[in-house]
Amino acid sequence: MGNLLGSFNARNVNLNMDDKPTFDPQEGFSYERKPREMIAKEEDLISARIPPKYRDYCAHHLLEYQVCRYKNVPLMYKCAHEKHAYLNCEHQDYVMRMKEFERERRLRVRENRLIGVA
Amino acid sequence: MALSLVKKAILANPHSLRKNVGVFCNAARNHWNYQYKPGPYPKTMAERQAAAKKYGLSIEEYQPYPEEMGYGDYPKLPDIGADSKDPHYPYDLPYLKRNFNEPFHVASEIIGEDRFNISVKHRIPLWQQWTWFLGVMFGSYMLYRYLDDYKIGRPVVAKQYPQEGPHYMFCPK
């Protein structure tokens, strides 16, 4: 469905936007999932005064972007590549969240079906 | 000029001047004079007729206030504010929208054009105003109560932060 009504039918399994996944992350996978790694160090983020809400898995791109801005001010256009990399990373992060949502929804539907059969 | 007018008035009609001065001095000192005071409450038909004649009303339209209100024989006139009176009628006193010798309403001070219109007729009646107001308020609330079960949002889980436990990608190690 579209973006606005994306979680509308998920309410049938009591799943809403910004809920946390409840199943075991490895459940249903034939392989072992690759864990996400945090590249930026917390001390660097604190030193660069990145706000806590931006200290996600893309923070190292943000840090690079901000460093580039600091070095190139006022010629911000020189940081276009860094900005692009950061925004791409955020986009991939969002896609991953959407995948997690869909996985959660399907697992809940499956669980309901199994309970109904049993 | 003014002094000559006063002199002329004194010489022309000394008796009337003395009386008027007395009335005005009394009104300024005591805020009213005996002529403002209504008579006692009319109990018999003859008294009613006398009171009606005194206030320039016919016996049919004369109606005193209840005795306990203390207005004596003062007539109970219809509650019509000056704003509700016909503005095109050729009144004797257009400023007050009043004719000569027409009795004053008891509350005429407050129902004049400058204060409050007791017989105001709204373009939208008061019950309709209340209906619209309460309808909108309760309607909005009922809509909110109904739509509370149909929340919508984007299909994403909560944002993943590294300190909130391990997160995994959708690819093998």
Instruction: State pLDDT tens for residues A40-56.
Output: 999 999 999 999 999 99
pTM of the shown model = 0.61
**String of DSSP letters for chain B:** -HHHHHHHHHHH-HHHHHHHHHHHHHHHHHS--GGGS--PPP-SHHHHHHHHHHTT--TTT--BPPGGGT-TT-B------GGGS-TTS--SBTTTTB-TTPPPPTTTTTSSTTS--TT---SS-HHHHHHHHHHHHHHHHHHHHHHTT-----S--PPP-TTSS--EEEEE-
At residue A52, the pLDDT reads 94
| ipTM (interface predicted TM) | 0.88
Kindly state whether A57 is in contact with chain B, defined as any CB-CB distance less than 8 angstroms: yes
Instruction: Please indicate whether residue A66 or residue B13 has the higher confidence score (pLDDT).
Output: A66
Answer whether residue A108 shows pLDDT above 80.
yes
Mean pLDDT of A55-78: 95
Q: Check residue B1 and give its pLDDT.
A: 64
- Paired tokens of B39: 């008579």
Q: What is the pLDDT of residue B159?
A: 94
Task: Convert the pLDDT of each residue in A71-85 to its tens digit.
Answer: 999 999 999 999 999
Of A34, A94, A101, the CB nearest to B171: A34
| pLDDT for residue B16 is more than 80 | no
Q: Does residue A2 carry a pLDDT above 80? A: no
pLDDT digits (tens, 9 = 90+) for B82-111: 999 999 999 999 999 999 989 999 999 999
Report the gap between the CA of B117 and the closest CA in chain A (Å).
Answer: 54
Residues B127-165 have pLDDT tens digits of 999 999 999 999 999 999 999 888 888 899 999 999 998
pLDDT given for residue B34 in this prediction: 77
Tell me if chain B has a CB within 8 Å of the CB of A3: yes
DSSP A3: S
* Average pLDDT score, chain B: 89
The answer to whether the Cβ–Cβ distance between B160 and A36 falls below 8 Å is yes
